[in-house]
Structure 1
Amino acid sequence: MVTYDAAQLDLTDDQVDRIFRALADATRRDIIGRTLTEESSISELAHRYEMSFAAVRKHITVLEEAQLVCTHRSGRERRIRGNPEHLQKAQALLTTYERLWRERIDRLDALLAED
């Protein structure tokens, strides 16, 4: 039987909450996708969206708190890049959930087949 334990994935419950909160927004998912293939500045990213620089910066802050992107200074700019290692943890967590639910559905199917 599959059990859910975020600690097995080296994640606290708070980190799991941050990851799912960050991934719940389409703009943030798009930022992750863009920065996994190419490092960008906040201003470069802000030009791609119909929102203010400050709004994009807030999205990036949420992604940083979830450790889904990393930032660093390069001169006067802050550069953003996706963090594939932490995304792999998120993927492993989702895979665990998938296995858990598949087992539950299989048990329900077996129970229903008994009748």
Structure 2
Amino acid sequence: MAAYDDLPSPAPHTETELVALLDLLTAPRPPIATVVVGHSRDAASCASAAAFVEAWCGIGREPALAMVDWPDSAASWLRAAHRFTAEEPDAWVVAAAPLGWAQMSRRLRHSTDWDPRGTL
């Protein structure tokens, strides 16, 4: 982490990105009805996750099964990884700082049955 401490914070999402994400999730195949949303704790990621949930519900979809957040640095991401995978959604949606997400996704792969193919 010391080698990457000076990475810039995530940028706020754009409306175009949000529309593209919704288009991917509402495509006919595979049908996506349920999502779990995960995000790091920086302001841009929190705002992006909240905007997604609002837009998702705004198009008549069920609320997210769970909203899970995590820090960019932690001794372990195990608790967050278990909360992220406790439900069985059709897709996972992530808004996160790259370094925190890299560490979180590593924990997910090593400690849960999470499959990155279902993650946007």
TM-score (normalised: structure 2): 0.27
Greater helix proportion:
1
Which of structures 1 and 2 has the bigger CA Rg? 1
